[in-house]
Amino acid sequence: MQALMLAAGMGKRLGRYTKDATKCMVPVNGKTLIEYAIEALVKNNIKKMIIVVGYKSQVLIDFINSKFNESNLKGMKIEFIDNKVYDKTNNIYSLYMAKDKLCEDDTILLESDLIFKPEIIGKLIKSKDPNLAVVSHFESWMDGTCTLLDEDNNITGILDKAHFNWYETEDYYKTVNIYKFSKEFSVNYYVPFLEAYQKAFGKNEYYEQVLKVLSFLSSSTLKGLPVSGEDWYEIDDPADLAIAENRFAKGKEKLKLLQHRFGGYWRFPQLKDYCYLVNPYFPPQKMVEELEANFHTLLTQYPSGAAQMSLLAGKIFNILPENIVVGNGAAELISSLGEKLTGKVAVPYPTFNEYPERFTNCQIVPVNTNPKTFAYTAKDILKVVKAEKVNTVLLINPDNPSGNFIPKAELISLLKELKALDCKLIFDESFIDFAEKKSRYTLLDQNVIEQFPNLIVVKSISKSYGVPGLRLGVLASANADYIKLIKKTNAIWNINSFGEYFLQIYEKYNKTYLAACDLIAEERARFIKELSKIKNLKVFPSQANFVLCKLEGNNRSDKLAVELLEKSNIYIKDLTGKKCFDEPVYIRLAVRDTKDNDLLVATLKEVIK
């Protein structure tokens, strides 16, 4: 068994990464693609490797010779074929140049822009099927040639982009661009067709087209070898490179890279995200279908401006449009608040860091909470306000990440006291809809904000309503001039058409939303009960869609977060380093649906010592 790699291309889309080197010399987590590939082949006892080079050919040859010798190649020989017209041809010509080599032995054919687990090569070699294409069930991040398989994994069709149908992707398998061809297949089928196809269509084509013709003539010629989407990645541009680094990193580095993405986890479909906080029970399927039905219109039309957004949001929350502003997520509104805010701001800690980090023109005055429970009351806040002569109070209720909750009566009493002291209250109620039904309330109420002109209410629609991709949040205040100021800070088209349409149709689904909030409250109570059964895990009370936990014994949150990610693809929030969490023992767990929560509980029982 030999290996043949096509590495003649220029890799233009990788920009600066291939300015002075080839595509396969791009490093992923400190090691180049060519090193990963050669090491995988050596590990699987491949004794000969042919590489078709072209762009920066001598640079690549010198690099390989500097990295590998007889000792670390363990007897594998490397040969090079130089495609001197690499810039005028495509991979069909590179493969054509190696056709004689292809006919000498059974061959593993692979491309140079891949990172993959060595086990893929092992599976190819061990398989009794002589001719195989490595394929992976289609996922939304994939691009390129796809195949159709029958029940015996015979490839019955190869689809190019022109014949791709997004409504049939459940049946598609993406080609990984790693193949196993028997010597007989190359001699009798592939090479003759390769020569004929190139003669008919020229040198600027792709070798996959030959496979497409062969699969059309006979479905038993080539079989698919399905592998997980986690086992490989194709790198065409810097965005691909970043994702590949995430996928193939290990330990702390893997967790760090994932944390620094701040979302976009749909690119990692196997990942279970218990870090970011989203309503799992809303929106309902009917609402999703309504959005889908209007997708083309929403995609191709401009959204309305800020004034219309205020009308739509005001209709939902029964607030006059001049008293409410819609933001591109609560994050935009927090940033706008921070630009205008000055003076002393009282902040109970621990808290959501986005607020104090944006309050750059202010002096942050901490409100100390119970060091064991992180609990605090309105009286604790008021005490600091009076002692420090504070201008503004920030209160997230329920608080993030502690889950601490101040009931409505206590909150209204605090508002009255603050009003008398001419002190503003920024009240973030992004998680308040998830509180128990008997305790649930809102300050997004025209009567309330008019009664308390010192009140500014912020709410993240992204979190509460389960639509983080739409990026929606609202801010309300009785001070219409202040609302105008915030609107001027934001762009006039800060909300896209999909967000606008969500606001337009929401009222039809209001009852469904309230029912979804009840489901979260019920599931949270059950989740907390199950978590509390785990030895060496202390669970704090919460009225939000997340739960704060403390590890006891010899368990550490940083190690637990890495272990869960590496072994189970579970992503949790490690609170180490956050203010008030100096010890590496605190974690925050998002409340998902029953199935996902049971999975997390079962996994935690296994890994917590």
Question: 181 is written with which tokens?
Answer: 């061809």
d(CA 147, CA 372): 57
Q: What is the mean pLDDT of the chain?
A: 93
**Closest Cα partner for 153 from 234, 44, 227?**
227
Asked if 123 contacts 116 with a C-beta cutoff of 8 angstroms, the reply is no
Asked if 524 contacts 591 with a C-beta cutoff of 8 angstroms, the reply is yes
**Closest Cα partner for 273 from 548, 527, 540, 597?**
597
**256 in helix, strand or coil?**
helix
Domain boundaries, the chain: 2-245, 249-279+512-607, 285-508
d(CA 275, CA 259): 9
Residue 325 CB partners (closer than 8 Å, separation 6+): 306, 309, 310, 313, 333, 474, 475, 476, 483, 486, 487, 490
Question: What is the topology classification, in CATH, of domain 2-245?
Answer: Spore Coat Polysaccharide Biosynthesis Protein SpsA; Chain A (3.90.550)
Residue 436 CB partners (closer than 8 Å, separation 6+): 521, 543
pLDDT band per the 50, 70, 90 thresholds, residue 164: confident
Q: Which range is least confidently modeled, 120-124, 462-466, 598-602?
A: 462-466
**Closest Cα partner for 372 from 550, 533, 534?**
550
d(CA 466, CA 276): 11
> Do 2-245 and 249-279+512-607 agree at the fold level?
no
What pLDDT does residue 219 have? 55
**Per-residue pLDDT tens over the stretch 46-99:** 999 999 999 999 999 999 999 999 889 999 999 999 999 998 888 889 999 999
pLDDT, mean of residues 137-156 = 87
What pLDDT does residue 145 have? 83
Asked if 107 contacts 5 with a C-beta cutoff of 8 angstroms, the reply is no
**Per-residue pLDDT tens over the stretch 535-590:** 999 999 999 999 999 999 999 999 999 999 999 999 999 999 899 998 999 999 99
**Per-residue pLDDT tens over the stretch 325-354:** 999 999 999 999 988 899 999 999 999 999
Asked if 172 contacts 146 with a C-beta cutoff of 8 angstroms, the reply is yes
- At residue 301, does pLDDT exceed 70? yes
Any idea which architecture 249-279+512-607 has in CATH?
Alpha-Beta Complex (3.90)
pLDDT band per the 50, 70, 90 thresholds, residue 239: confident
Q: Which range is least confidently modeled, 194-208, 283-297, 374-388?
A: 194-208
Asked if 252 contacts 28 with a C-beta cutoff of 8 angstroms, the reply is no
Question: 211 is written with which tokens?
Answer: 């496979």
Percent of the chain whose pLDDT exceeds 90: 78
Residue 476, class by beta-carbon neighbours within 10 Å (0-12 exposed, 13-18 middle, 19+ buried)? buried
pLDDT, mean of residues 425-433 = 97
285-508 in CATH: which number?
A: 3.40.640.10
What pLDDT does residue 451 have? 97
- Other Cβ atoms closer than 10 A to 21: 18
Cα within 13 Å of Cα(221), Cβ side: 19
d(CA 486, CA 456): 12
What pLDDT does residue 201 have? 86
Asked if 271 contacts 571 with a C-beta cutoff of 8 angstroms, the reply is yes
- At residue 262, does pLDDT exceed 60? yes
pLDDT, mean of residues 512-529 = 97
Using the Cα atoms of residue 524, residue 527, residue 533 and residue 538 in order, give the sign of their dihedral: negative
pLDDT band per the 50, 70, 90 thresholds, residue 383: very high
Instruction: List the end-to-end C-alpha distance of the chain, in Å, as a whole number.
Output: 46
Q: Which range is least confidently modeled, 160-164, 308-312, 363-367, 515-519?
A: 160-164
**Per-residue pLDDT tens over the stretch 210-229:** 888 887 776 567 899 999 98
- At residue 140, does pLDDT exceed 90? no
32: alpha, beta or left? (left if phi > 0; alpha if psi -120 to 50): beta
